[in-house]
Structure 1
């Protein structure tokens, strides 16, 4: 565990180059409450839309979330989805200079229509054809420059035409000439096109198709991997086996790592997370089995999230320390992680509540408020004022306890499901971002004076005023302590 923790700490010092098929993933969420009169199909009443990077772009986003340096190269069409994808890459990765525009090409877009937790339909728009020779030459030139700063080259092949056989060979040759490792997330049945690569990461289905051999059980997986190693000229395979874990196989050794997931909610993009963590760990200097072990932990985390998600270093550290992932174990999180958790609860049909405060010295009044808040919803998020925020609101002598201590105490309560520290004087930004179904404050407020009440009511949420226990006040407690 200490070795894996040290490896996690080293990830920000590594750098990885990702080349492959970029995709724009669009998730359209809504509700179905009637059948169309035009045809026997459900009518989706759209409530929100989420855009994210898929394919090789998701590998790059996972690397960025780990804090690892990442350079991302791909080819887009000169179309609206391409421009949106470029904007997403710039926002998520810092720049989009590695994206080559090819006129006449259609940017790969996958649109998923989801009602509650049920996906109704996926609509794909794409060009599945080899990129033009000029685009391949441009990608190679950019890759050769990036390889001077990156320790690992990742080829994320989704079979959309960016990684042509000729370009794959040239990229691997360029990496090997510089002493770089090459990790490939493969596609298709012919893995000989990746000859010279250090690691291939097929899933169980891909392994069976490429080898033509059975893959049930450790022995069969080893045999299938070694068949490909011998026939395709690659150094190792890391076979991902879903709930059975992961197998690390070379010509003369095999290690089988069991899955870390406690709950599998959504496997979308889990393979991308595995490739990202594996390549980042290798770039940080880890040997292959240790890198795969960390990737197994990461896979156990990401399958408990919704959609094409990422894994962050703090989640990895907690999972390693606990020898596994417990989906509700981490209660004190940042805003991005809170958004992921809330999205997951919503897909499960749970009502999300929100309350906030300084909670400096926890007293029975606080406990009662939180208990009443939790009774009004299925999951309760608590917004906690940061130390700087409390000082501005309460004066230089406050808080008595730091935000870390206050958050820990709140997280220990069964009525609290999530704690998010915020820096502002009010939780308005948190409320606007998380969009709780229920907003809870004490009855010393009126609905008109509750911060965020108008926001919550605007989309159909409710505001609940909890009863107060008379005589309970942190300020009074502090005054008594001074006597």
Structure 2
């Protein structure tokens, strides 16, 4: 079906990759700094019955909305991040990493009232032993909210990007008024919108173009059980979502069960690309980045789903939060399609 569709529409994989470089993308949402401490354990602490990890490697990576932005950038797009960080050392690190990756930080705001969201993972023998989260999840205060809206809408009006991606981790940046104002402005000036939602704002993204929840978020956000995963039950989920938010495209990720898509004209349940799974962290970031960019260029939901499904599988082969590799992704697409 997919190969026929590709042939009928004459979608050239290399041409799409070339067009990625022409896309201008703004990612709005909760950025994070992901810290990794790798080490070895060979004794128990005399202070408490806990293992002592002797750290031999440390690394920081872009997480949350910053990882979505990095995925878009890795594929060649021109990307700007719109978010809030703390006025702290982790914020400086995150800002420098974004700049070094070539991601625009004109819409990255510093707050005196919240720290930079940071997740620190302690890992030994490829096993995560503990995670430490430094964060404030309260919504932005009124002053921060108004400044965020004003600067973002002004940027969208002047720069007119092709695509706005909302990456919501329920850390307080994406509050109702911000969501409403940005989506409305995007609709007025013809910018495609996509969202990777979370529970708190699940039904807030009225009239967004692409809505990409996972199965857990569907169950929590709609308050329903989906015990049987088939095209009928998933189409019913799509209809329920359409009634609630009036979006265009549903892209539902189902973990090992694959992915479901529908745009009110066509849809399908597609199997997952079976791979050697190392870590699912950040896979959703990759899926929304690839899906939104492919949809913007092709307006083909089948191609959008197949490509993002493959991309999500690829990053699951890596340990920790990593973005998609343009070269590896291109090679895999050429081999499979």
- TM, length-normalised to structure 1: 0.64
Partner of 1:48: 57
* Superposition misfits of 4+ residues, deviation over 3 angstroms: 250-253
Of residues 51-60 and 282-291 in structure 1, the stretch that sits farther from structure 2 once superposed is 282-291
Q: Find the partner of 1:141 among 147, 150, 160.
A: 150
Q: Does 1:110 align with 2:123?
A: no
Q: Where does residue 80 of structure 2 map in the other structure?
A: 71
TM-superposed deviation, 1:94: 4.3
Deviation per CA, 1:224-261, whole angstroms, max 9, x where unpaired? 22212112222221001112221112345322222123
Deviation at 1:322, TM superposition (A): 2.0
In structure 2, what is the equivalent of residue 391 of structure 1?
none
Matched, 1:12 2:21: yes
Corresponding residue for residue 163 of structure 1? 174
Q: CA deviation at 1:133?
A: 2.3
For the pair shown, the structure with the greater C-alpha radius of gyration is 1
Q: Distance in 1 between matches of 2:319 and 2:261?
A: 27
Q: Report which stretch shifted further, 175-184 or 89-98.
A: 89-98
Match of 1:244 in 2: 257
CA contact (8 A) 2:29 2:168 kept: yes
| Residues 214 and 221 in structure 1, CA contact (< 8 A), matched pair in contact too | no
Q: Give the alignment partner of residue 153 of structure 1, picking from 150, 161, 164.
A: 164
Tell me the residue number matched to 1:273.
286
CA change 1:133–1:190 in 2 (3 A) is closer
Conservation of the 8 A alpha-carbon contact between 1:229 and 1:250: no
1:395 matched to which residue of 2? none
- Secondary structure of the residue aligned to 2:101 is helix
The answer as to 2:133 corresponding to 1:124 is yes
Q: Which residue of 2 aligns with 1:333?
A: none
Matches of 1:220 and 1:158, distance apart in 2: 27
Q: Is the Cα contact below 8 Å between 2:80 and 2:103 reproduced in 1? A: no
Cα deviation, residue 38, structure 1: 0.9
Q: What SS class does the counterpart of residue 182 from structure 2 fall into?
A: helix
Structure 1 unmatched ranges of 5 or more:
325-483
Query: When the two structures are aligned, how many residues end up with a matched partner?
Result: 324
Q: Which has the higher contact order (CA 8 A, sep 6+)?
A: 2
Superposed, 1:441-456 pairs within 5 Å as none
Specify every segment of 5 or more residues in structure 2 that has no aligned partner in the other structure, as ranges. Answer: none
Could you say what the CA RMSD is over the residues aligned between the two structures, in angstroms?
1.8
Q: Secondary structure at the match of 1:13?
A: coil
Q: Distance in 2 between matches of 1:157 and 1:94?
A: 19
Q: Tell me the distance in 2 between the aligned counterparts of 1:23 and 1:307.
A: 14
Give, in whole Å, the separation in 1 of the partners of 2:143 and 2:267: 42
Determine helix, strand or coil for the equivalent of 2:218.
helix
Q: Of 294, 317, 328, which residue of structure 1 is paired with 2:330? A: 317
Shift of 1:312: 2.4
**SS of equivalent to 2:336:** coil
Q: Deviation string for 1:41-98 (max 9, x for gaps)? A: 0000000111011110000011111111111110111112112211111112344322
After TM superposition, the score normalised by the length of structure 2 is: 0.91
Could you tell me which residue of structure 2 aligns to residue 30 of structure 1?
A: 39
Written as runs of structure 1 = structure 2, the 5 A alignment for 1:39-438 is: 39-147=48-156, 148-188=159-199, 191-215=202-226, 216-218=228-230, 219-323=232-336
Provide closer, same or farther for how the CA distance between residues 96 and 180 of structure 1 changes in structure 2, counting only shifts above 3 A.
closer
Distance change >3 Å, CA 49–CA 88, structure 1 → 2: same
Q: Distance in 2 between matches of 1:71 and 1:141?
A: 16
Q: Is the 8 A contact 1:20 1:74 kept in 2?
A: yes
1:143 shift after superposition: 2.5
CA distance in structure 2 between the aligned counterparts of 1:110 and 1:311, rounded to whole angstroms: 21
